[in-house]
Amino acid sequence: SSARHCCSSSSAPSLTPETGREREKVKGFAHMTLKEGTYEAKMSVPASFGPVGAVLVENEHHREMFIKDVKLITGGDESTAITFDVASWVHSKFDDPEPRVFFTVKSYLPSQTPPGIEALRKKELEKLRGDGHSERKFHERVYDYDTYNDLGDPDKNIDHKRPVLGTKEHPYPRRCRTGRPK
C-alpha cells in the first residue's frame, strides 16, 4: 500500500572523467521498515561512480514529511556510512514535482565544487533565490525579501504616514517576500 512507501531517491549525477558527461543516476525506492518511522532502500552503486556528493529525494506521499537524515551504508558496514543531515520537510511530489536535493556536509568554494554537483548547486541556489516577482507557492523555500509598505494609514490621517522600510533609505527591517499585491 502507498502508506508503506516513502520516496524515491537517487544519488546525484557524477561526471565521467573521460567524456565529462553525466553518469546515469542510481535510483532506489524506500520502503517502511518494521522500526517505526524508518525507511530503507537498497541501491547498487558501482565503484566507478565516484564519491556521492548529494542525494535527490522525491516524496511519493500526498502530504509533506519530515526527514531527519539519509545514511548511505556501503557493504553493510555502518561505521563507513555517509550521512546527509537533512532535518527538513519534503513536500509531496504532487505539490512540487522537483525532487529535493540534499548535499553532503562538506563545503566547497565555488571554484572547487566537483563538476558532478556543480549544476545541482546552481539550480538549488536559483530555486532558493526565487524570481523576485511571482507569488510564492506553499512548497517553495524562497529566501527573498520585500518592503514593509503597510505600516501607516495616511488615508485616514496624514499623521499616520510612515516610511516604507526595506528600501535604500531605510534598508532594515525587511520581511520575507510573499508575492501578494502591495
Least confident interval from 56-60, 70-74, 87-91 = 70-74
For 77-114, how does the pLDDT look when each residue is reduced to its tens digit (9 = 90+)?
Answer: 778 788 888 888 888 999 888 898 898 888 888 888 88
In the chain, the percentage of residues whose pLDDT exceeds 70 is 80
pLDDT band of 178, cuts 50, 70, 90 = low
The correct answer on CATH 3.30.70.3270 for the domain covering 2-113 is no
Domain boundaries, the chain: 2-113
The 3-state secondary structure of the chain, one letter per residue: CHHHEEEEEEECCCECCCCCCECCCCEEEEEECCCCCCEECCCCCCHHHCCCCEEEEEECCCCCEEEEEEEEEECCEEEEEEEEEEEEEECECCCCCCCEEEECCCCCCHHHCCHHHHHHHHHHHHHHHCCCCCCCCCCCCCCCEECECCCCCCCCCHHHCCCCECCCCCCCCCEECCCCCC
